[in-house]
Amino acid sequence: MTRRGARRSSRLRQGARATILCVLVVGLGWLVWQRVSLAVSMDYFRINNFVVEGNQRVPSAVIIESLGLTADSSIFQVDLRALALQVGRNPWIKTVRVSRRLPATLQVHVSEREARAVAIADRAYLISEDGLILQEASSVEMAVLPLLRLYADHPLGTGERIDPARVERGARLWQRFHHGALGADVQAREIQLKGDGSYHVVLGPGLPSLYFGEGDDVQRQLDRLARVLEVRRAPLRALEYADLRFADKVIVKPLSKEGA
């Protein structure tokens, strides 16, 4: 064998020994981890402390209970991803991150949803900005949040999702009227989300119904309605309804003499 061949053979033997050593180290580490896992029943590693962060609406006790841990749960044995999924079943919880703090503390960081509107169907529900039904709404919440009436073919329930784009558009439409789009005395009582994608704005007593399309420029349509009323020399209260769903026209129906 030549000197070059001998050197090459030596390097190969050294590489093989290094590879075997690496495998042994990894295997030893795995065995050590297994032994630590088997020792998790020791009191030292039993979870005895919880740190809950980011919650305002959901009590910390409720979040801890939703983890479903037993008294002898070990900090090493728990599945962090599975625990996060359990906490996230609460509709108020938007995101969850669960982590370990050795030797025996479990940290849960959450972010919560906020109520964007009240959806009225078979009952009144709080609904989030991403369209999730959170819980039934109280009369106080109904008085301060946009009211969106839905027409569902089945009873709704907590955790069910509604098209968030429609929720957001309906809520913004409601707020526009409460910010004086047609005057301080013209308020929206509710926004009805129709099955064809249109929106029916129910105003206060003595005021007409207004109909908007799914992609309408609301302010542009309101300006057109104002011009129609100016041409007709009629107040808003003289109308039964105004249909603003068309790009090239505004359809208005005056009140009948009996209605007036």
Q: In this predicted model, what pLDDT tens digit does every residue of 111-122 receive, in sequence order?
A: 999 999 999 998
Crossing angle of helices 164-178/218-232, nearest 10°? 40
Q: Which of the residue ranges 5-14, 22-31, 211-220 has the most confident prediction, judged by mean pLDDT?
A: 211-220
Residue type present at position 60: S
Instruction: Note the pTM of the prediction, 2 decimals.
Output: 0.75
Residue pLDDT, tens place only, 11-70: 656 665 666 666 566 556 556 555 655 554 567 888 989 999 999 999 999 999 999 998
In this predicted structure, the answer to whether residue 96 has a pLDDT above a threshold of 80 is: yes
In this predicted structure, the answer to whether residue 228 has a pLDDT above a threshold of 90 is: no
What does DSSP say about strands 115-120 and 124-128: parallel, antiparallel, or unpaired?
antiparallel
pLDDT for the residue 28 = 66
pLDDT for the residue 190 = 93
> Picking from 6-10, 113-117, 183-187, which range would have the lowest pLDDT averaged per residue?
6-10
- What mean pLDDT is predicted for residues 256-260? 56
SS3 (DSSP) at 200: strand
Distances (CA, A) of 53 to 70, 76, 87, 132: 21, 21, 13, 22
In this predicted structure, the answer to whether residue 93 has a pLDDT above a threshold of 60 is: yes
In this predicted structure, the answer to whether residue 8 has a pLDDT above a threshold of 60 is: no
Mean pLDDT of the chain, nearest integer? 85
Mind listing the domains of the chain with CATH numbers? 43-112 (3.10.20.310), 115-254 (3.40.50.11690)
Q: Which residues, including other chains, have CB under 8 Å from residue 90's CB and lie 6 or more apart?
A: 58, 62, 63, 66
